[in-house]
Amino acid sequence: MEAIVIVAVDATSAGAQLLLDALSDVLLHLNGDSGRASFDAEAATPRGGFYLARDGAGNLLGCAALRPLGEPDSAIGELKRMYARPGSIGVGAALLAHVEAQARAHGYQAVHLSTRVANSRAVAFYARHGYVPVAAWGKYVGAAQSVCLGRQLSIATSLNVADLPDL
């Protein structure tokens, strides 16, 4: 598998817009709604970001965004606009791991997301990565077409082997 490089970019950049358009087209075909109304590319936040995945040659592979869920000081980060181009292997998992690492760095205790029930591939993907149903929020409350999922984040610690006692 070729290296996947993930970088933070402005969500209004050309590469970001290309992937966001591709995602919107897929979602529109899948469930009749592009999802564009749920993400404002102009609304950057210091506790989040927009991330692009590229291969070693610089080809765009996928994208994802992180923002606070609700208030700016929320303990929960919201995953938005996650997309991996068809045929790209390992990109979704790499992006998800990157977003979760960024969420930890921003002090979030959990990551939540909403996707359409009809998007069974996405629902299965998130389940494989430890996401479970959570209470709906905002416009998703009572929306039977949506499923809200979340995952508690573990606190990553670094351990130096030299610090371990001799046994």
For 120-135, the pLDDT digits (tens) are 999 999 999 999 999 9
> What SS3 class is residue 162?
helix
Highest mean pLDDT among 7-21, 27-41, 95-109: 95-109
| pLDDT exceeds 60 at position 14 | yes
Q: Show the tokens assigned to 69.
A: 């869920």
State how far the alpha carbon of 126 is from the alpha carbons of 49, 61, 93, 135, in Å. Answer: 20, 18, 9, 16
Nearest CA-CA partner of 127 in 146, 94, 149, 109: 149
How confident is the model at residue 17, as a pLDDT? 86
Rounded to the nearest integer, the mean pLDDT of the chain is 85
How confident is the model at residue 22, as a pLDDT? 78
> With bands split at pLDDT 50, 70 and 90, how would you rate the model's confidence at 106?
very high
Question: Which residues neighbour 98 within 8 Å (Cβ) at sequence distance 6 or greater?
Answer: 6, 51, 53, 64
| pLDDT exceeds 80 at position 27 | no
| pLDDT exceeds 50 at position 158 | no
Q: Which residue type does 38 have?
A: S
- How far is Cα 58 from Cα 38, in angstroms, rounded to an integer? 28
Q: Alpha helix (H) ranges present in the chain?
A: 14-31, 91-105, 120-128
Residue 165 CB burial class (10 angstroms; 0-12, 13-18, ≥19) = exposed
In the chain, the percentage of residues whose pLDDT exceeds 90 is 59
Task: Write out pLDDT tens, residues 64-81.
Answer: 999 999 999 999 999 999
Instruction: Assign 3-state DSSP to the chain and report helix, strand, coil percentages, each to 5.
Output: 30, 30, 40
